Structure 1
Amino acid sequence: MKDWFTIEEIDSNTFAISEYQHWEQTHCYLLNGETSSLLIDTGLGVANMKEIVASLTKNPIQVVTTHVHWDHIGGHRYFQNIAVHKEEESWLTEKFPVPLAGVKSNLLHKPCDFPVGFDSEQYEIFQGQPSRILADGDMIHLGSRLIKVIHTPGHSPGHLCFYEAETGYLFTGDLVYTGKLDAFYPTTNPVDFMHSIKKIKALHPQKIFPGHFELSPDPAIIEAIDQAFTELATQNKLKQGNGIFKYEQFSLHL
């Protein structure tokens, strides 16, 4: 299990916990404060995330969810205090929008040496009651650290980014990363996605930390994504069903 997760130190109180062996290459982030710690997403759920977190902090843990997709909530079952945006609360408490068979198909999409003891036949989508509902502009206090909640719909209706003004860190979930950005699912919205990119662009983050692939791409990628969306909108192409548009560091799937 220990070999499944890769721990990378961003600074002495901030860590990336990654699942590089899986094709999704998911990243979760642990932010340690004086009084509590914040865990941004919990990954695939194929190994015990709580054991890794416990090796990095003894603080009480608050889990926040960038969005309720299977590859970001898999380890939620190991934690008690879970927060989510209201637009996706029912995805946790009532019904996940994708059937289990579809989730398993994605999980097993490419060959992978899963952790010893993991059985894909027993894999389930997390369902549970969140302890906190997050809204745009909410502040999360970790003692001396202050994290702002930013509602960034587009990839999903309740997608959230998390911003720490003091360090300039922006945790972008699936809104920004070096790879294929998806806005073609029924629960996605390309126009909302574009507006969310413009919203985070205005923050001028010093560093960005996404949910997948390259751990800390150049923040200039936000400008490039904004330009791509804006051009597609100007050309009246920002509509679902228009296909994949490829750029140097990313592509947009509409």
Structure 2
Amino acid sequence: MGNAVTQDSASSPTPAVKPPPRPYYPNGNIAAGYNPPGVRNTSSVVPLHPGKPVIHDYACDGPAPGNLAFRWTYGSNIAARNRDPRVQIVQYNEDTFVLRQNVCVHWEAPFTYLLFGNKGALLIDTGATADARHYPLRETVDAIVSRWCQARGRASIPLTVALTSGEDIAQNQGLVQFAGRPGTTIVPKPLAVMKQFYGFGGTWPSGTSRIDLGDRVIEVIPTPGTHKDGVSFYDPYCDFLFTGDLLFPGKINIGNDRDFLASLERLKAFAAAKPVKWLLGGHVEMMFVPGKYYPRFATYKPYERVLEMTPDLIDEAIVHARAVQGKDMMLIRPDFVLFNGVSPDQRTKVWPEGVPNIDAPHPF
């Protein structure tokens, strides 16, 4: 038998084989098995190890997928004992975040929205509390931005902070937390300066403006009525209309009924020309029981209605805005209550026809 031939690996090393280069997918690997056929713009399309800044494709058929199927924290009977996060964060999709202020920090529990594009981010509204010790909005936004940039292979991204109303103290108090923040543009609060910033000039309240986040262009629509400087924002990626105090599931305090009606009609025309999935307002004050709502200063709201409103509610709001125009009255509808020329604490013993009168559950 012949002798077996052996080779000393130390004396004859095998040449190292370089691994094949990792494929680069600018918008993720659409062919990967975890992506259902035709699906794009989901969290699965962000490369695990981006080799360079990820350029996202914001063009999609229909609204970008996302999820709001969850429950908001609802406070406590004794606010001082509440231990929920000061800011609740919900990631609707990889580039869209919904934030809510804890109702025990401020009873209005306003919503703010953080949107990302390829070249910038936009924060819509800033909540009702200036003190970052009680309402750490900037710290929260900075953490989200940092994580988003890390996932996208970026060092930073410019941030624009805009308000649905500079007059609304439930939405503008957190603005001071962003003063001096690097890479940040703050839309001015005074009406005249805000008009100049958006380029409305003498066209206000007609026309629209734009905030370009990089392939995700947000449209700005003048919508005075509850506030004389009110604006709404349209996101063509998620097909959302952010309506602030103009239209939301709660007690809508009309400041100028003619402007209010005109703004609703302007939104109706806009929604007829652009796809709108949901209206997202600045607050939730209604219960899930039609026409019932929480009183002011309540810090325990376990039976809230959902935040999102369907665009057909614009038509309903127009009908009833006409009904209250020129009158000092409140008008109850299943999804909102209009207050025109009366106190937000106004009560009525007359239950409106067509609205089911169901007793609200009693919180224990």
Answering whether residue 214 of structure 2 is matched by residue 143 of structure 1, we say: yes
Question: Using the alignment, how far apart are the partners of 1:228 and 1:26 within structure 2?
Answer: 25
**Aligned twin of 2:191:** 87
* Identity %, equivalent residues: 28
Question: Using the alignment, how far apart are the partners of 1:174 and 1:138 within structure 2?
Answer: 19
Does structure 2 conserve the Cα–Cα contact (< 8 Å) formed by 1:65 and 1:82? Answer: no
Q: 1:2 to 1:82 in 2, by over 3 A?
A: farther
Aligned-partner SS, 1:75? helix
**CA shift for structure 1 position 20:** 3.9
- Which sections of structure 1, spanning at least 5 residues, go unmatched? 90-129
Does structure 2 conserve the Cα–Cα contact (< 8 Å) formed by 1:66 and 1:84? Answer: no
**Structure 2 residue corresponding to 1:54, chosen from 142, 154, 173:** 142
Amino acid at match of 2:91: E
Does structure 2 conserve the Cα–Cα contact (< 8 Å) formed by 1:42 and 1:72? Answer: yes
- Which sections of structure 2, spanning at least 5 residues, go unmatched? 1-82, 147-156, 180-184, 201-206, 285-305, 341-364
**CA shift for structure 1 position 216:** 1.4
**Aligned twin of 2:268:** 201
Amino acid at match of 2:162: V
Give CA deviations for 1:35-85 in whole Å, capped at 9, x if unaligned.
210000100124121111111114221101110211111111122421147
Matches within 5 A, 1:194-233: 194-204=261-271, 205-213=276-284, 214-230=306-322, 232=323
Matches within 5 A, 1:1-254: 3-21=85-103, 22-45=106-129, 46=131, 47-58=135-146, 59-68=157-166, 69-80=168-179, 81-84=185-188, 87=191, 89=193, 133-134=197-198, 135=200, 136-183=207-254, 188-204=255-271, 205-213=276-284, 214-230=306-322, 232=323, 237-239=324-326, 242-254=328-340
Does structure 1 conserve the Cα–Cα contact (< 8 Å) formed by 2:98 and 2:111? Answer: yes
Amino acid at match of 2:115: L
Question: Using the alignment, how far apart are the partners of 2:123 and 2:208 within structure 1?
Answer: 18
Does structure 1 conserve the Cα–Cα contact (< 8 Å) formed by 2:86 and 2:136? Answer: no
Give CA deviations for 1:161-196 in whole Å, capped at 9, x if unaligned.
00123431111010110111101xxxx211110110
**Aligned twin of 1:127:** none
**Aligned twin of 2:38:** none
Does structure 1 conserve the Cα–Cα contact (< 8 Å) formed by 2:249 and 2:307? Answer: no
Question: Using the alignment, how far apart are the partners of 2:192 and 2:88 within structure 1?
Answer: 29
How many residue pairs get aligned? The number is 204
Give CA deviations for 1:182-212 in whole Å, capped at 9, x if unaligned.
01xxxx2111101101111223221211100
TM-score (norm 1): 0.74
Aligned-partner SS, 1:156? coil
The higher relative CO (CA closer than 8 Å, separation ≥ 6) is in 1
Aligned-partner SS, 1:203? helix
**CA shift for structure 1 position 140:** 0.5
